Structure 1
């Protein structure tokens, strides 16, 4: 069998990525909806159909269903408004303004979400033609064709964005680990205030990463809803969400840690922040904390049982080493406080902040938080759907 060229392999891999697959799906749905609308409707250029298909084919099946319904409602509301105004008045500047105002107000009332402007756009397009009734019906049919085609396309192998969300979470954890390791290299010597402040600013910039990761995770959560390709979608959503919450807390504590180190550098401008033995212990603590953060990210983004077990073992080992480093550091700092009590608040802060990070990453605490969140979501679902809960209880009673 001849060897496949490397560029061809790279191209095939690119076409399997969610972004590329979504682009191909959107383009194909728009073209197909245009062809169908051309065959079924008398309009020479039914561009509303491909426009609707392009907007309806969202990144997830769940979003497609919501968007399709809202968009059809928006178009219908705009068509009805234009039909009513055309029967009463002609097209003038004041009737156009009144139509737009009415469409925007009604768009808020019918709750079409982000498609409020679509109500006014539909009303203007229909109001500006002579044969309002025929144009209104054609526009409704075009919208329905585009919405149906978009829904069908996203129902065929709907994309799952869990992997991209996991990559974003892993990237964020690696950024945190890199900051810990960089500080571990510097803390063993004299750290100028400017260098310590630079690390503090880098830790603050993690807020931007958190916002981006949160957006990726929301998209992943939507992609697992109503998706036949996903098994245990609720568990996957809860595992990623609770894991990101933990990493977000750790990022905040890391920023506070670097604030304490910057203050310590200001208090000791002409000498090392810590004596050599305490600095060595703290550097080891930072390195093992970096390993723990990265192992935690691997754990919450790994679905296979074997991989999850390995990640959990790695996390446990890193936490055990970190706690040993923390105890050794506490003994060094206790001796230091007795000799030089003037920075005892900052030394105590370093220990308290390290304890907070290690406590958040604890495996048992994560398991308890995961179970608690699953129970909460299940109870909320039962409260929102009492009839479904009653049917399930009856079925369970009959099986018993």
Structure 2
């Protein structure tokens, strides 16, 4: 692999964040020039560069981490300078001690790195005095506060749309997995086609993990965000739907594997299997309807659109395609294990869709 390619990211940072970072650096430096009489406010510029993050909550955390690291680094460097001077060996001793102190205190990587950098900059930037050290700490705080304010004022990012679309796609693909089972049972697929169906069903687990990651990022973007209030209802509903889909993904994968492992040429001739295929097709219709309701919800307007479940939503009733559970009077002697497993999976999926308790 080309080493130069490792220097480039797979995606660009949003241009708005680039603009906010530039604004934060300029504002922090100019404010420090007014408040503090001294050299160029390097600490303020560095703080502004690091604190502007994709979300306000992340900016707040970065500001705390950087401020804590600077305070420790500056205090450590000032103490060593007053005791031992500012020779090269003193600078090296401060850096090594900063690394060990950060490890002992279990500081985050951001704070740990900042302790050593701040101590080194204080000892190498000029004559160290108590006022000099206090000014460097003040610079850092000003830079962090300015960056946090800029990130909050200039169109705070809301990452709800990617999560919303991910949940809708997951519901749609889960519906397709149920529909594949119904088609396969009706047409009498061979082992090769069931292998492909199982591969597609198993891929839903990774898709669900990506949807959950998107929901986490969306929640992060709404924390401490003044624009977050109107979006939280959709996020809560999408999170509840994703939890239901987690159960459905597990069930559809298990059903597909059970059929793949136990399929036989005469399976489709069993009358109960035909009824099972019908019920699974109805499950697919219900899940596809759920996907349509998610996609129909606009992010700028929260609609109460009728998903019932354990997520605690007070929504309108939804018509379901599922009928009453199937009853088998006389089990098939060759396929009764598979039929029983599929019937139990259908029962559990039905309870999940209707929000019934076990």
Give aligned pairs, total. Answer: 333
Distance 1:41 1:88 in 2: 26
Greater RCO (CA < 8 Å, at least 6 residues apart): 2
Pairing partner for 1:28 from 23, 26, 38: 23
Contact kept in structure 1, 2:81 and 2:90, CA below 8 Å: no
- Write out per-residue CA displacement over residues 173-199 of structure 1, whole angstroms, 9 at most, x where no aligned residue: 222223223333333223232332232
1:132 alignment partner in structure 2: 128
- Write out per-residue CA displacement over residues 370-392 of structure 1, whole angstroms, 9 at most, x where no aligned residue: xxxxxxxxxxxxxxxxxxxxxxx
110 and 284 in structure 1: CA distance in 2 versus 1, 3 angstrom threshold: same
- Write out per-residue CA displacement over residues 128-187 of structure 1, whole angstroms, 9 at most, x where no aligned residue: 344234764554344223212211122224333333322221122222223223333333
Contact kept in structure 2, 1:81 and 1:99, CA below 8 Å: no
1:321 alignment partner in structure 2: 321
Distance 2:316 2:288 in 1: 10
1:153 alignment partner in structure 2: 150
316 and 29 in structure 1: CA distance in 2 versus 1, 3 angstrom threshold: same
The aligned runs of 1:1-400 (5 Å cut-off) are 19=14, 21-34=16-29, 36=31, 42-44=38-40, 46=41, 48-89=43-84, 90-92=86-88, 96=92, 99-106=95-102, 109=105, 111=107, 114-133=110-129, 136-137=133-134, 139-156=136-153, 157-231=155-229, 238-265=236-263, 268=264, 271=265, 273-275=267-269, 277-297=271-291, 302=297, 307-309=303-305, 316-317=318-319, 320-323=320-323, 327=326, 330-331=327-328, 337-338=331-332, 341-363=333-355
Task: State the TM-score, normalizing by the size of structure 1.
Answer: 0.69
164 and 93 in structure 1: CA distance in 2 versus 1, 3 angstrom threshold: same
Distance 1:220 1:76 in 2: 32
Distance 2:78 2:90 in 1: 16
- Tell me how far 1:290 sits from its aligned partner: 2.6
141 and 344 in structure 1: CA distance in 2 versus 1, 3 angstrom threshold: same
88 and 21 in structure 1: CA distance in 2 versus 1, 3 angstrom threshold: same
- Tell me how far 1:67 sits from its aligned partner: 2.4
Contact kept in structure 1, 2:78 and 2:133, CA below 8 Å: yes
Distance 2:50 2:280 in 1: 47
Distance 2:109 2:232 in 1: 26
| Structure 1 gaps, min length 5 | 1-17, 366-400
- Write out per-residue CA displacement over residues 247-285 of structure 1, whole angstroms, 9 at most, x where no aligned residue: 2122122221122111123xx2xx154327545444433
| Structure 2 gaps, min length 5 | 1-12, 309-314
